[in-house]
A and B are shown apart, each in its own frame.
Chain A
Amino acid sequence: MAMSRRSPGRSRSRFTLVLLVLSSITLLTLDSRSFGPLESARNAVLGFFAPVGDAAESAFRPVGDAWNGATGYDDLRDENEQLRQQVLELEGQLTEGEAARRELEQLQGQLDLPFVGEIPQVKARVVTGGITNFDETIEIDKGSSSGIAVGMPVVAGGGLVGKIVRVADDRSAVQLLTDPASNVGVRVSGAPGIGIVQGQGDEQRLRASSFDITTELAVNDLLITAGARRSDYPPDIPVGRVTSVTADDASLEKTADVEMEANLNDLLYVTVLQWQPTP
């Protein structure tokens, strides 16, 4: 029996390992081909763990807050934490006073984003960050029941945050721009030149590449979504600002380090754009 308490022998143990490795490879292969039942299973897990995770999160939030306060190492983090508390308090007290209502409206007003134009929007609260250390995603508290679908862009105050990669009824997962698998077609705001921005698995920092060497790319230039046909994102959404530029004469390309416009540290609310790429 596979689950005996004592090792049944080296050959049997090796056989078990080979079986598990083959099972993993099978799962990886099916997943890479977007096998329907596996996708459904992952969406179901997202929905299943939502209430479980929320309950545990609520119970341990004071611990987490205290911990974050103890391990936080910059003023911005503290300010964001205070703002988080403020927003949570205002949510609960919305009907209790006009002053609180006005303050909350001001906070919500920050989410009225000029660059999204007429695209329908869904506001959502960020409920958790990545589960693992190699997870450049966040979860939000809205899902398919609010009209959210896979592929929709997600923005916050400063600009583009990422896109929806998984949806349950009342929960969605957002792949952040910082994910190494994330690619966004961008152009320089107010100037010609198109390139690609990729995540580096690093907070706030992105890498832009594939700009023609003749492109006028300078420090502090704003990169915005190019919105080319079949692009995952609509045009003209701010992505980030150039912090350094490198020209490669061999490949005749320019690359740049980019700092994201949207602040991913302690995101509280995001806006999902109900927009799908043109087929």
Chain B
Amino acid sequence: MKVAIQVGLVVLSAAVLQRGVFSQLGMAGVVIEVLLIVAIAAGLSAGDQAGAITGFAAGLSLDLLHPDGPLGLFALTYAIVGWFVGRYQSSVVRSSRWLPVVAAVVATIGANVLYVVLSLLVDQRDLLTSRLLPVILVTSVGSAVLILPAVRVLRWAWDVQPDLAMRRR
């Protein structure tokens, strides 16, 4: 119950940040996707199941904030991305200090591409435009910058103690 409240609090805070702050701080019309970073950080810090659950909750929040998109598409995308990140988190987190950053960038690119593909399949909405490249670039940079603090927050939310490999850093 405590974990559910903490995760819910993190997701709600991220939604408020996305709505109030990061939607104002665009670069070339592209905004950083905090809720995606939350999903990736959950997978990195607490494993595949936590990544999927947090990703679903974060994506659903974004679906509800997104007034015109199909409800459930971000939830589906982020749940899958969170799960995949968590699947490979043990090897990634323990190998190198910077591999989580690389993993976050790869996951962000994957999430954007997956959303575009699912959008075409589910909603017949073709988002494969010239805007996709700047979106991928800016969101990847945002994920790279914010992933390490986000991992700390999600580790707290999921009540995960740093393992031996993490303590050695």
Contact = CB atoms under 8 A, between A and B. Distances in A.
Contacts of B64: 41-42, 45
B68 A132 contact: no
Nearest to A167: B67
B131 interface: yes
Contact of B67 (A23, A38, A166): A166
Nearest to A27: B72
Contacts of B49: 2, 4, 7-8, 12-13, 16
B31 interface: yes
**Most-contacted residue by chain A among B17, B23, B68, B70 (CB, 10 A):** B68
B3 interface: yes
B70 A42 contact: no
Contact of B72 (A17, A28, A71): A28
B24 A57 contact: yes
Contacts of B72: 23-28, 31
Interface in A68-87: 68, 71, 73
B156 to A, nearest CB: 12
Interface string B94-129: 000000000000000000100110010011011101
Contacts of B112: 133
A202 interface: yes
Contacts of A32: 70
Interface in B124-145: 125-127, 129-131, 135, 139
Interface string B1-45: 001100100000001111111011111111101000000000000
A129 B66 CA distance: 11
Query: For this complex, into which size category does the number of interface residues on chain A fall?
Result: 35 or more
B19 A13 contact: no
B65 interface: yes
Interface of B, secondary structure class, is helix
A12 B52 CA distance: 12
A107 B139 CA distance: 36
Nearest to A171: B67
A143 B56 CA distance: 30
B148 interface: no
Interface in B57-111: 59-60, 62-76, 79-80, 83, 86-87
Interface residues of B, number: 68
Interface stretch (A48-56, A208-216, A248-256, A271-279): A48-56
A99 interface: no
A180 B125 contact: yes
Contact of A134 (B48, B50, B67, B115): B115
Contacts of A46: 67
A59 B17 CA distance: 12
A49 B19 contact: yes
A24 B76 contact: yes
Given A7-B48, A12-B49, A25-B76, A136 B68 contact: yes
Interface string A14-47: 0011001101111110111000001001100110
Contacts of B62: 131-132
B45 to A, nearest CB: 10
B25 A64 contact: yes
A5 to B, nearest CB: 5
A189 interface: no
Contacts of A16: 49, 52-53
A135 interface: yes
A267 B12 CA distance: 28
Closest 3 A-B residue pairs measured CB to CB? A56-B20, A27-B72, A173-B67
Interface of A: 2-8, 12-13, 16-17, 20-21, 23-28, 30-32, 38, 41-42, 45-46, 49, 52-57, 59-61, 63-64, 67-68, 71, 73, 128-137, 139, 165-166, 173, 175, 179-181, 200-203
